[in-house]
Chain A
Amino acid sequence: MTNPPLPPSDLPDELLAGRAQGGDRAAFEALVVRTLGPARAFCTKLLRDPVLAEDACQEGFLKAWRGLPGFRGDSKFRTWLWRIFANVANDMRKPKPAQIGDMDFEAIPERDVAAEESVAREIAALPDRQREVLLMKVELDLSPAEIAEALGISYEAVKASLSLARKKLKERLE
């Protein structure tokens, strides 16, 4: 089977989403390719399990594909997509704190692995809500208002969680 050709890269997400709503798989695949990086980083860092994160990404994009008729264009496509991802990752979140040891730190050379490991450990030690908000801000580049919308919590709560998470990490990573 030959894969469909990708549409031009300069089209905005929302336009591609509109095409995808009309059944254009290539348009949707282009959206997946555009957003796969942050989606994977977000899921991996939140779930701390690369295999689970991979499944979460598959599930997230599949849900997005099937839920495309529900995207009405009243928010940015990414906000809509990340809301789906926040839900999927939440559903998959393990009840017990995961093993940092599972993470593959050795795979990429020329990095301060020890520093990354300590970042990973400290992120893992954050309360669930704070970790989620911080990762949505940093990895998915969402504004506090968008995070509040995606998680269904108040803007104030997002600001508080974000501020607490940053302060804790700053203190522990110094």
Chain B
Amino acid sequence: MTCDEILARWDDGDRSPDVAAHVASCPDCRALLAVDEKVRGWKTVPKTSEAAFMERLREKMKRPAAIRVAGPSAPAVWPRLAAAAVFIAALGAAFWLGRTTHPQVHRKETAANPTPAPRPAPVPKPIPTPLPTPGPAPQPAPPRPVEDADKKEFKGRLMAAAAGTGAGRDAFLSQIRSGTDRSRWISALRSPDAAERSAAVTIASVARDAAVAPDLAIAGARGDERAIAAIGDIGGPAAVPALASLAGVRGRREAVESALAATGLPEAAETLAALGAWSNEAAWRRLGNAAAPAIAARLRQNGEARVPAITAAGWAKAEGAVPELIKLLSRRDSREAAINSLASIGGPRAAAALAEIADEFDEELLKALKAVGPGREALEKRLLDVRLAPTDRARAARTLVALGDHAAEPALITALDSPEIRGDAALALGDLKCEAAVPGISKLLRERRFRDSAAEALAKIGSAKAIPALALASRDRSFREEALRAMTAIRSPEAVPYMIAALGDRDLAGAAIDSLGAIGDTRAVLPLIGMLDSERGGQALDALRKITGQKLPGKTDAWVRWWKANMKSGKSFDFSCF
């Protein structure tokens, strides 16, 4: 039997003599079983005492298990909502039939296009059973004079409460809330009498009773736009289906869209998306991140709604849609819109995504990165992320330069320590003319691989502080030309001795003469006089005139005479550094 088989029997609780004897004598088996002891020997420390644990558990045991309640919370709402839908559908149909005098045509149209609205999401389902005419439940058929008087009295109180403020209205509201006048108020919302209906709507917007949304929808369908707005303001679970049922009613669309936005609910966003209300900028802005699930769903689909949904995501600043927008960056047809949306949403995730694809030539992306807020931070993160490929990090450095944000300088200086990208970081710092980076970049002059970049960067920065390091580097013959060229560009008095030395170099003489002329240091006068007879005499004359302010001709004798008369007693020049 193998050790594995023995141990399997041991684990099963088999302690027969042959198993026990093997385990006792076999060092391998004992070592394996010792592992169990080691695991057991790791003592964990519980977070709480036993008593505290029991106390917490007892509390939980007392509570009944949670029962999930599905569906809309107010059970009374749905039947009325259904009634509202039927009523509104009937209203729409009546309108439609009234519009056309040719029923044949109408029938054809409806057959070709059976659903007028494109899948409005939470529109109430068709009513399974035929409902009686909509209206409050207890309504005896023959109106009696007593009831008429009662109705009249209620209408009076309703109108007064709607018109007034203060104690009278408060009393009326409390009666509605306590249920006494509730059903009469609800029938007033559905009343054909415009004045009564309007008063009831006014009361609804004060009472803020979410359960009357279906009744407000009927008032809205009958022409009361304030009722539609009130549904949105009051909100609640019944608001979105009620508004969706109104979407098909002619002339109400705009009010419905605004009211949907006012609810601030994700379902409202879903309905707006299903209605194709993509151009309603104000609505999407108002919905904000609540619109994210609806928008993200459209972004995932390869449908017509995708491009307008990208724009809507930007309006809504839908943070939740960012992952989907990022995916769309790789698609040519949606890239530009996605960039703009991400820029207006902002935040670190959007910034990171934009930073990932940015380069210094893409103006659109640069604009987006500036707008996105933490765009620079995202680029800096990429710059310093050692897990990324050096080419990606270098691209981040160049993009930072293109952004022209001097706040990126500390990160770029840090990047000088990173062997893979220090050359790129130096060039970036040069482009930003970052004086603080001079010591760091100067150090790179010692490294063969990076010294060209370092010299170029130092030349661009133009700080005199770089001169000693460049002078030191110029001692290396193979690097002399680059170092002197950089010093020429810096144009600082500290560089004058080196410029004078460069006059003897055919390739550098021209630049050195210009540099000396620009620096204007009198130490250069005699060496420049010495150049007057050379092929660069004209250039030397210009420089001399600039330094001395003299308009002498380009003759060596004339300048020497002038020099003896004016300058000889001046500073002497020390060539000892060469």
Q: Number of A residues whose C-beta is below 8 Å from B?
A: 48
Interface residue ranges, B against A (CB under 8 Å): 4, 7-8, 11-13, 31-36, 38-48, 50, 53-54, 56-58, 60-61, 65
Q: Does the CB pair A169–B35 fall under 8 Å?
A: yes
User: Which residues on B sit within 8 Å (CB–CB) of A78?
Assistant: none
Kindly state whether residue A57 has any CB partner on chain B within 8 Å.
yes
* Minimum CB distance partner of A123 in chain B: B39
Q: Is the CB of A25 within 8 A of B32?
A: no
Top-10 shortest CB links A-B: A44-B44, A107-B45, A119-B42, A116-B42, A54-B47, A166-B32, A169-B35, A50-B47, A104-B45, A166-B35
Q: Which of A50, A123, A139 interacts with B46 by CB under 8 Å?
A: A50
Q: Which of A10-32 contact B (CB under 8 A)?
A: 25, 28-29, 32
A sample of 16 more A-B contacts (CB under 8 A), given A33-B50, A166-B35, is A29-B54, A41-B44, A50-B44, A50-B47, A54-B46, A58-B57, A58-B60, A62-B57, A62-B60, A108-B45, A116-B41, A137-B36, A144-B11, A166-B32, A170-B31, A170-B32
Residues of B within 8 A of A111 (CB): 43
Taking CB atoms, residues of chain B closer than 8 Å to A72 are none
Knowing A107-B45, A116-B42, A116-B43 are in contact, say whether A33-B35 is a contact too (CB < 8 A): no
Identify the A interface with B (CB < 8 A): 3, 25, 28-29, 32-33, 36, 40-41, 44-45, 50-51, 53-54, 57-58, 61-62, 65-66, 103-104, 107-108, 111, 115-116, 119-120, 123, 134-135, 137-139, 143-145, 159, 162-163, 165-167, 169-170, 173
Residue ID in chain B nearest A163 by CB atoms: B4
- The answer, among B13, B39, B43, for a CB contact under 8 Å with A169, is B39
Contacts of B60 in A (CB 8 A): 58, 62
Residues of A within 8 A of B39 (CB): 45, 119, 123, 134-135, 138-139, 169
A-side interface mostly: helix
Please report the C-alpha to C-alpha distance between residue A88 and residue B248 in the assembled complex, in whole angstroms.
49
> Is A62 within 8 A of B35, CB to CB?
no
- Contact yes or no, A119 B41, CB < 8 A: yes
CA of A144 to CA of B33 in the docked complex: distance in angstroms?
15
Q: Beyond A45-B44, A166-B35, is A66–B65 a contact (Cβ under 8 Å)?
A: yes
CA distance A58 to B48 in the complex (A): 12
User: In angstroms, how far is the closest chain A Cβ from the Cβ of B36?
Assistant: 5
Chain A residues contacting B35 (CB-CB under 8 Å) are 165-166, 169-170, 173
A165 partner residues in chain B, CB cutoff 8 A: 35
User: How far does the alpha carbon of A54 sit from the alpha carbon of B39 in the complex, in Å?
Assistant: 20
| In-complex Cβ contact of B53 among A41, A58, A162, A173 (8 A) | A58
| 27 pairs, A vs B, C-beta closer than 8 Å | A25-B58, A28-B61, A36-B53, A40-B46, A44-B46, A45-B42, A50-B45, A51-B47, A54-B47, A54-B53, A62-B60, A103-B44, A108-B45, A116-B41, A116-B42, A134-B39, A138-B36, A139-B39, A143-B11, A144-B11, A144-B12, A166-B33, A166-B35, A167-B32, A169-B38, A170-B32, A173-B35
